[in-house]
């Protein structure tokens, strides 16, 4: 097709007339003039020839005028409609330019103007994609650039805020990029960056939350985290992947990545702050060791590392026989006899030493290890109790602590009956201790499970009573037998009148509900006397004994038995 600008002469000519601004009006004018040519010809013909009468001339001219006007009207109307494709294409282009609205035009017509409409749609759509890519993506790696990433991160942050979730911003720096670039040239450097981008993309679900920030700096955002340490396995995997060699122009290249992590909301609540802090963490990571990740904020690192170390070791604690049970006697206030013991787990690790249950039980709770640990505790405690009974010691009840995760376990009741059967311990000798906060996590479920345990004949004790915030109205619905007064009240019961008031209130409440009372943490004679005078049934605390090993407990039980035998004989 020959595009000849000279074809535009008429168009250019008509454009000179300021009154003919629109394209449509130019065409209309020409059509108007064209349709009037026969009429004018007729008029001129009548003027030069005298062969027709005046009347005849007028009649013919009037008919011709009417016919011309009708013809012109129809022609102009048809043209007006036929020009519509040109006009809508024009409007669609204007709409894209001014409002970035993509054109919606018919694409199935095949003549020139039909193709004009179809091609306009195609070209603008493509153009829009190219512009979008140029403004939002990094040319070299195809990853989102800072503009798009910032925008998406902002959105993710607002969502995290709504759902009270954590979000980690993970910055990555390739320490030796410059050296590689200098040694192998910039095209190898570019290939390296593309390779890294590919590995990053393979590590995340959402590719819009990765970005190349600057030449050898990348950043990833991980939304929807429940704990800061959730990010650790991700970073470990990421580093593992990045440490695999990359082959560039026949050379095997090893990159040295450093990773810095900032977590919303702890380390900032804006995009800038999180990026800045993740970068600070990178500097720290570089200082410490190569190929390493680092959280922002030193305290958190220390705590987290400690917790991670603990968690790793705890995974092997059972199989390596590092757990042990200690037993603490519970003494009848009136007779002074040991009528029960509480089993308390101990962990002795070769690297960490003795770790308090206060430290490791919550971790076992969080990662689910409490289930096997809890079963081991129950089995060991029941076996031991049975052994004492078999040795002829007076039967006593064994108290075992139950954790939240265990209570939520679907087959808890069956597991407990199974363990009782295996260890041949009569159900009457088992006491399970639960805390208020544990029951309150899912009240109805807890009540159902506790009811089943109670129906089996297991004694139930509410541990640490007074420290939680269960409403007293619930207390009535819990199928429990014993309230254990928390040691924080017992500690100052003889010196602090408020603690005494709370303790008295708990005792009165327990009595009115027909519950037994165990006071824990009794350390002194005064505390013991106080509890005794307030009709507390059972006492547990250092006053009688610290938690001790099974053989030591066996000895204590024998001594206690002999003492009472002597008393009874006397």
Residues that bind Ca ion (CB under 5 A): 401, 433, 463-464
**Which H or E run contains 246?**
strand 246-248
Candidate list 48, 358, 566, 570; residue touching ligand C2E; CB under 6 A: 358
Tell me the window of 226-234, 516-524, 530-538, 562-570 that interacts with ligand C2E (CB under 6 A).
516-524
Candidate list 103, 257, 466, 541; residue touching ligand C2E; CB under 6 A: 541
Map the footprint of ligand C2E across residues 450-469, applying CB under 6 A.
463-464
State yes or no: residue 3 binds ligand C2E (CB under 6 A): no
363 C-beta neighbours (distance < 10 Å), count: 16
Q: What are the tokens at 44?
A: 């001129």
State yes or no: residue 521 binds ligand C2E (CB under 6 A): yes
Please spell the DSSP secondary structure of 260-311, one letter per residue: EEEEETTT-SSHHHHHHHHHHHHHHHHHH-SSEEEESSHHHHHHHHHHHHHH
The pairing of strands 251-253 and 257-264 is: unpaired
253 C-beta neighbours (distance < 10 Å), count: 18
Residue 412, Cα to own-chain centre: how many angstroms?
29
State yes or no: residue 361 binds ligand C2E (CB under 6 A): yes
Under 8 Å between Cβ of 293 and 239: yes
State yes or no: residue 345 binds ligand C2E (CB under 6 A): yes
Candidate list 172, 344, 460, 493; residue touching ligand C2E; CB under 6 A: 344
State yes or no: residue 432 binds ligand C2E (CB under 6 A): no
Could you tell which of ligand C2E, Ca ion, none binds residue 403, using a CB distance below 5 to 8 A set by kind? ligand C2E
Max Cα-Cα span within the chain = 167
Rounded distance between C-alpha atoms, residue 49 and residue 57, angstroms: 10
C-beta closer to ligand C2E: residue 321 or 356: 356
Could you tell which of Ca ion, ligand C2E, none binds residue 228, using a CB distance below 5 to 8 A set by kind? none
Q: What are the tokens at 319?
A: 């199989």
Distance of closest approach, residue 358 Cβ to ligand C2E, in angstroms: 5
C-beta closer to ligand C2E: residue 173 or 487: 487
Place of tokens 């260890």: 423
Tell me the window of 44-52, 263-271, 274-282, 354-362 that interacts with ligand C2E (CB under 6 A).
354-362
Under 8 Å between Cβ of 294 and 269: no
Tell me the window of 45-53, 83-91, 221-229, 520-528 that interacts with ligand C2E (CB under 6 A).
520-528
Could you tell which of ligand C2E, Ca ion, none binds residue 386, using a CB distance below 5 to 8 A set by kind? none
Candidate list 356, 444, 471, 512; residue touching ligand C2E; CB under 6 A: 356
Q: What are the tokens at 50?
A: 């005298």
219 C-beta neighbours (distance < 10 Å), count: 26
Whose CA is closest to 528, among 544, 509, 504?
544
Place of tokens 């002829």: 392
Distance of closest approach, residue 343 Cβ to ligand C2E, in angstroms: 6
State yes or no: residue 542 binds ligand C2E (CB under 6 A): yes
Under 8 Å between Cβ of 346 and 325: yes
Q: What are residue 67's DSSP bridge partners? A: none
Candidate list 141, 313, 385, 403; residue touching ligand C2E; CB under 6 A: 403
C-beta closer to ligand C2E: residue 137 or 360: 360
Binding site for ligand C2E (CB under 6 A): 328, 344-345, 356-358, 361, 374, 377, 401, 403, 463-464, 487, 520-523, 541-542, 547
């Amino acid at each position: 097709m020959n595009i000849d600008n000279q074809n535009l002469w008429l168009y250019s000519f008509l454009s000179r007339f300021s009154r003919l601004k629109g394209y449509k009006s130019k065409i209309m004018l020409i059509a108007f003039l064209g349709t009037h040519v026969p009429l004018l010809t007729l008029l001129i013909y009548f003027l030069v020839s005298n062969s027709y009468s005046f009347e005849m001339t007028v009649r013919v001219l009037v008919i011709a005028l009417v016919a011309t006007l009708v013809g012109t009207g129809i022609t102009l109307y048809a043209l007006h409609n036929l020009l519509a494709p040109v006009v809508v294409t024009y409007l669609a282009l204007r709409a894209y330019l001014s409002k970035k609205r993509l054109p919606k035009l018919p694409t199935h017509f095949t003549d020139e103007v039909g193709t004009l409409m179809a091609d306009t749609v195609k070209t603008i759509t493509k153009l829009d994609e190219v512009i979008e890519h140029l403004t939002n993506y990094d040319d070299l790696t195809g990853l989102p650039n800072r503009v798009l990433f910032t925008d998406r991160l902002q959105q993710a942050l607002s969502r995290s805020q709504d759902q009270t979730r954590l979000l980690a911003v993970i910055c990555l720096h390739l320490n030796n990029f410059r050296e590689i670039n200098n040694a192998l040239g910039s095209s190898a450097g570019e290939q390296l960056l593309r390779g890294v981008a590919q590995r990053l993309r393979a590590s995340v679900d959402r590719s819009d939350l990765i970005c190349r920030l600057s030449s050898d700096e990348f950043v990833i955002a991980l939304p929807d985290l429940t704990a800061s340490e959730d990010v650790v396995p991700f970073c470990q995997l990421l580093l593992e992947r990045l440490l695999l060699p990359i082959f560039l122009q026949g050379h095997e290249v090893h990159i040295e990545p450093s990773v810095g992590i900032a977590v919303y909301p702890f380390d900032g609540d804006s995009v800038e702050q999180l990026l800045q802090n993740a970068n600070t963490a990178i500097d720290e990571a570089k200082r410490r060791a190569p190929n390493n990740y680092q959280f922002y904020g030193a305290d958190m690192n220390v705590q987290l590392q400690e917790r991670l170390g603990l968690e790793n070791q705890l995974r092997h604690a059972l199989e390596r026989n590092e757990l042990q049970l200690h037993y603490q006697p519970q003494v009848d206030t009136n007779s002074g006899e040991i009528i029960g013991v509480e089993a308390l787990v101990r962990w002795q690790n070769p690297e960490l030493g003795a770790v308090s249950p206060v430290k490791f039980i919550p971790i076992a709770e969080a990662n689910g290890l409490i289930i096997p640990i809890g079963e081991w505790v129950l089995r060991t405690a029941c076996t031991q109790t049975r052994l004492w009974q078999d040795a002829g010691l007076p039967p006593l009840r064994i108290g075992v602590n139950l954790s939240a995760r265990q209570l939520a376990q679907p087959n808890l009741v069956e597991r407990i009956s199974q363990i009782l059967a295996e260890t041949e311990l009569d159900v009457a000798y088992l006491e399970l201790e639960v805390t208020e906060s544990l029951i309150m996590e899912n009240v109805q479920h807890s009540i159902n499970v506790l009811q089943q345990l109670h129906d089996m004949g297991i004694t139930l004790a509410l541990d640490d009573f007074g420290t939680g915030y269960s409403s007293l109205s619930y207390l009535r619905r819990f199928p429990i037998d014993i309230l254990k007064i928390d040691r924080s009240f017992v500690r100052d019961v003889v010196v602090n009148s408020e603690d005494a008031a709370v303790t008295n209130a708990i005792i009165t409440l327990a009595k009115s509900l027909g519950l037994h009372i165990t006071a824990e943490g009794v350390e002194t004679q005064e505390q013991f006397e106080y509890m005794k005078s307030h009709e507390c049934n059972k006492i547990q605390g250092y006053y009688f004994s610290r938690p001790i090993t099974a053989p030591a407990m066996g000895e204590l039980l024998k001594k206690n038995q002999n003492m009472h035998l002597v008393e009874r004989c006397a």
